[in-house]
Structures are given as structure tokens and as C-alpha cells.
Amino acid sequence: MRSLTIAILGAFALILAACDLGPKSSFGFTLPDGNADYGQAYFVEFRCVDCHTVVGLEDELVAPEGIDPIMDVPLGGQTTRIATYGELVTSIINPSHKVSTQYRLSPAMEEEVSPMRNYNSIMTVDELIDIVAFVQEQYELKPYNRTVYRMY
């Protein structure tokens, strides 16, 4: 019994050590719920549409007349894991945090700087949470298909 307790405590210690709870950890970070309808309007207003299409809303969310889209990074659609609020906020306020190699403007882009615009000094927190609520709603969890084993 005692060794079981020690084993459980040891496992907890390992789990805690594995989580990064340093001063820069996002632990404890939450946002109030946003309004996805407002978020959709902001998505066009902030011209996210210059670079993003939204799966299922390709015809509704378009760059204003006469403006050519810069690139097409699709957001939304089916996914096996919906990005958390924290991840989505990070992709908006700190897009270079995780720049996918796919979207480097050129192979010469040594520095990992996202081509995504920086909105930090023009977007209010309310606008940010509404946009995040809207973007998050666009993802749909892919149904998990069980493997069907045939009877032999």
C-alpha cells in the first residue's frame, strides 16, 4: 500500500515537472466568451480576408472589391483537434510564435517571422476575443471512424 502511495506521488511529481509553470507559462490564462457574430464582421473589417479564406464561407468573406488577396491560408473546416482559445489568441497576437514552413514567403526567409500582419496596437481585447470566438466556431471535429474488423 505504501509503495503504491509513493508511486502515485512520484507520478504526480513527474507530471508537475513536465508542465512548464514558469513565469511565462500560460497557466491560469482565460478569456471571457466572445461574440462570434461580431467576430465575423471584424474578420472582414481587419482584412483577415486578404490572406485567409474560411471553409464554408468562401463566398461570404471576401476581400473588398478591387483588392487582390495576398495569399490563401484556409481557416476552419474539419480537424482532429480544435485549437484552444490560447492557441488561437497566440496565432493572432504572436503569429511568429509558430510559423509553419509552408507559408514562409520565400525559402530565404531565414528569420521565422510570420507574413501575417501585426494587429497588436490596433485591435482591442474585445475585438480579439470576438474574432477568436468566430474562428474557433469554424472548426468541426472530424468524426472518429472506428476500424471495422471483418469476421473471418
Binding site for ligand HEC (CB under 6 A): 43, 46-48, 50-52, 70-71, 73, 75, 88, 91-92, 95, 99-100, 103, 114-117, 119, 131, 135
Query: Which parts of the chain fold into alpha helices (H)?
Result: 2-18, 36-45, 85-93, 125-137
Would you state the cell numbers that stand for residue 74, as one nine-digit string? 484556409
Residue 57 or 95 with smaller CB distance to ligand HEC: 95
Q: Kindly state the cell numbers that stand for 2.
A: 505504501
Cell numbers 514567403 correspond to 105
| Residue 20 CB, nearest approach to ligand HEC (Å) | 21
Q: What minimum distance in Å lies between the beta carbon of 104 and ligand HEC?
A: 7
Report in angstroms the alpha-carbon separations of 106 from 1, 75, 119.
60, 21, 23
Judged by beta carbon, residue 53 or residue 91, the one nearer ligand HEC is 91
Kindly state the smallest distance separating residue 57's Cβ from ligand HEC, in Å.
13
Residue 82 or 145 with smaller CB distance to ligand HEC = 82
Residue 42 grid cell: 471584424
